Amino acid sequence: MDLTNAQEILGKYNKEPYHLNHARIVSGVMRYFAKEHDPKREDYWAAVGLLHDIDFGMYPEEHCVKGEELLRSEGYSEEFIRSAMSHGWGLTETKHEPSHVMEKILYACDELTGLIWAVTLMRPSKSTQDLEVSSVKKKFKDKKFAAGCSRDVVRNGADQLGWELDELFEKTIVAMRTLEGESANDNK
């Protein structure tokens, strides 16, 4: 998987710094989880994370549907398209329900990374290094905080993975810690 090419394609359809940063964070989180679940395909998992919102910047009202078209036009496989677009299951018109462990992790972590990032930005350290699960849980319960984060998707994602919410929170925080000094710090 050519991540340089995926990065160029991401930039072709997304200009907003927030969306580019989110894509990089999700890509890094997916790479982290690939090390445990599918180490021979780390770049593949990272590329899926990078391009999962390929259409959101230009076509938010057609999210995950237009993404299929864009990825297909860029020469991505049907397997890749399915994996990347499955994160929108239940939120968009995508027909791809997460079934592979990679898809389930993307589904659960996409929304959660946004919430964790918002919690991190409120902290004096602006870092995940000292972030505790309890802080994320507190903000997770506050539906007004990061209101765009679907708590139902996060819960459903944890259920699909067979993980408790605390386990999903902890693993995602640890994954995001590995990104500090990279893209996760770009928007501080």
pTM above 0.85, yes or no: yes
Q: Give the C-alpha distances (Å, rounded to integers) separating 44 from 18, 33, 78, 102.
A: 23, 12, 13, 10
| Nearest-angstrom CA–CA distance, 105 and 33 | 8
- Helix 3-13 to helix 17-37 angle (10° resolution) is 150
For the stretch 15-40, pLDDT in tens is 999 999 999 999 999 999 999 999 99
Question: What is the distance between the alpha carbons of residues 77 and 178, in angstroms, rounded to a whole number?
Answer: 29
- Tell me the per-residue pLDDT of 52-85, one tens digit each, with 9 for 90 and over: 999 999 999 999 999 999 999 999 999 999 999 9
CB-based contacts of 113, cutoff 8 Å, min separation 6: 22, 25, 26, 29, 172, 176
Q: Is the pLDDT of residue 187 over 60?
A: no
Percentage of the chain lying above the pLDDT 90 cut: 88
Task: List all residues 6 or more positions away from 8 whose beta carbon is below 8 Å from its beta carbon.
Answer: none
**pLDDT tens profile 105-138:** 999 999 999 999 999 999 999 999 999 999 999 9
Reported as half-sphere exposure (CB side, CA atoms, 13 A), residue 10 has a value of: 26
